[in-house]
């Protein structure tokens, strides 16, 4: 009986060794870089900036944030920022001092808010209050809605006598 147990244990140890060798080979193959690297393919195809990012921001961000807002220049996203491009909005968010239960309107305060707007392709992917990595506080701003040029009034031609 002792010999039969030794044969069974010997067969089990061989099976275990074969199993471990197969698992090692499978795990090694799974970690190898035989398949093309997806990130290298993404980096190989650079994405250009959208044609009119100001228009995208006007249509993709709520009016409460874009009314009277100023916008920074477009720049590539970095690190954990979503999308391909980002711009910053500098907007005044008005808050009333009226307390609950008061009927008289109180003074309205305007707080400056910096909003990071992330663009992917030709759409606004996301927007949020800016954080340090966005560097919105140090950006240079211009009006989001460009000023409308004054209408040119045609003067009637002078009649000569």
Residues 61 and 6 in one domain: no
**Does the pTM of the predicted model rise above 0.85?**
no
In a domain, 154, yes or no: no
In a domain, 12, yes or no: yes
In a domain, 150, yes or no: no
- At 55-77, the pLDDT tens digits run 999 999 998 888 889 999 999 99
Residues 26 and 94 in one domain: no
Work out the percent of the chain whose per-residue pLDDT is above 70: 68
pLDDT band at 5 (very low <50, low <70, confident <90, very high): low
- At 90-119, the pLDDT tens digits run 998 776 655 666 655 556 667 889 999 999
Higher model confidence: residue 160 or residue 19?
Answer: 19
In a domain, 153, yes or no: no
Residues 18 and 66 in one domain: no
Given this model, what pLDDT does residue 1 score?
59
Residues 103 and 134 in one domain: yes
- At 15-38, the pLDDT tens digits run 888 888 888 777 777 666 555 555
In a domain, 130, yes or no: yes
- At 130-154, the pLDDT tens digits run 999 999 999 999 998 866 666 666 6
Q: What is the DSSP letter of 46?
A: P
Other Cβ atoms within 10 Å of 136 Cβ, number = 22
> HSE (CB half, 13 Å, CA atoms) of 85?
22
Domain total in the chain: 2
Which of 95, 97, 139 lies closest to 114, judged by CA?
Answer: 139
Q: Are 112 and 90 in contact (CB under 8 A)?
A: yes
Q: What is the DSSP letter of 79?
A: T
The H or E element spanning position 18 is: helix 2-31
Residues 16 and 60 in one domain: no
Domain around 119? 47-143
**Pick from 6-10, 76-80, 134-138: least confident:** 6-10
CA angle 54, 58, 107 (to 5 degrees): 120
Q: Give the span between the Cα atoms of 91 and 71, in whole angstroms.
A: 9
Across 8-12, 41-45, 69-73, which has the greatest mean pLDDT? 69-73
Classify residue 29 as left (phi > 0), alpha (psi -120 to 50) or beta. Answer: alpha
Residues 12 and 74 in one domain: no
In a domain, 114, yes or no: yes
Q: Give the span between the Cα atoms of 119 and 60, in whole angstroms.
A: 10
Residues 59 and 30 in one domain: no
Residues 59 and 126 in one domain: yes
């Amino acid at each position: 009986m002792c010999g039969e147990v030794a044969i069974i244990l010997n067969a089990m140890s061989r099976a275990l060794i074969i199993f471990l060798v197969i698992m090692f080979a499978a795990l090694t193959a799974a970690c190898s870089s035989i398949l093309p690297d997806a990130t290298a393919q993404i980096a190989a195809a650079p994405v250009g900036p959208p044609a009119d990012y100001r228009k995208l921001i006007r249509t993709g961000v709520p009016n409460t944030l874009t009314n009277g807002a100023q916008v920074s220049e477009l720049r590539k996203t970095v690190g954990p920022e979503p999308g391909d491009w980002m711009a910053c909005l500098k907007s005044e968010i008005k808050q009333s001092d009226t307390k609950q239960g008061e009927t008289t309107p109180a003074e309205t305060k305007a707080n400056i808010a910096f909003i990071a707007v992330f663009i992917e392709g030709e759409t606004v992917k996301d927007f949020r209050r800016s954080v340090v990595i966005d560097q919105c506080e140090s950006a240079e701003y211009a009006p989001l809605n460009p000023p409308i040029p004054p209408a040119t009034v045609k003067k009637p031609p002078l009649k000569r006598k």
